[in-house]
Amino acid sequence: MVLTYQELFPHQDFSHLDSTVQQYLSSDTPLWWVKEEGENNKGGENAPPIACLWAGNAIDQISGNRHAHIFLLYVVPEHRRWGIGKALMHHLENWAGQRGDRQIGLQVFASNAPALNLYQQLGYQTQSLWMVKPLS
């Protein structure tokens, strides 16, 4: 999680994200990891992950229905544009469909053009805007 935020905001301290993970990670919030296989993978089972997808639950504020919510999708930069993120998203769609969810929600930074592009290619549409006002 820290890697994805550091990429977008390189001068920020994200140590507070540990408490977010502690609060939300549970058996109800699956976390899928992708590790590289093949000749180039010298670490075997101990190889570091190259991608992950962390999902959870949310409640649609209009209908009141529970639905899947993406907490994090991350692919390390040197493995991007290989279809890994798209494959993880399809895996999530299957998981959510099997649970009976009727939609998947996520939050994405407006400045994260690659993520916005991926989500739009997959059929995601803007439903609302999260607005903030800094206080001095």
CATH of the domain at 30: 3.40.630.30
Residue 72 lies in a domain: yes
Residue 136 lies in a domain: no
Using a cut of 0.85, tell me whether the model's pTM lies above it. no
Residue 47 lies in a domain: yes
**pLDDT at site 27:** 77
Number of domains observed in the structure of the chain: 1
Residue 23 lies in a domain: yes
Residue 127 lies in a domain: no
Residue 10 lies in a domain: yes
**pLDDT at site 132:** 84
Print the domain residue range for 61: 2-121
pLDDT single digits (tens) 12-58:
888 888 877 777 777 788 999 999 876 565 656 778 999 999 999 99
Q: What are phi and psi of 67, to 5 degrees?
A: -150, 165
Residue 103 lies in a domain: yes
Residue 132 lies in a domain: no
Neighbours of 135 (CB within 10 A): 4
Q: Please state the separation of Cα 57 from the chain's center in Å.
A: 13
Q: What is the DSSP letter of 48?
A: P
Determine contact, residues 82/118, Cβ cutoff 8 Å: no
**pLDDT at site 44:** 63
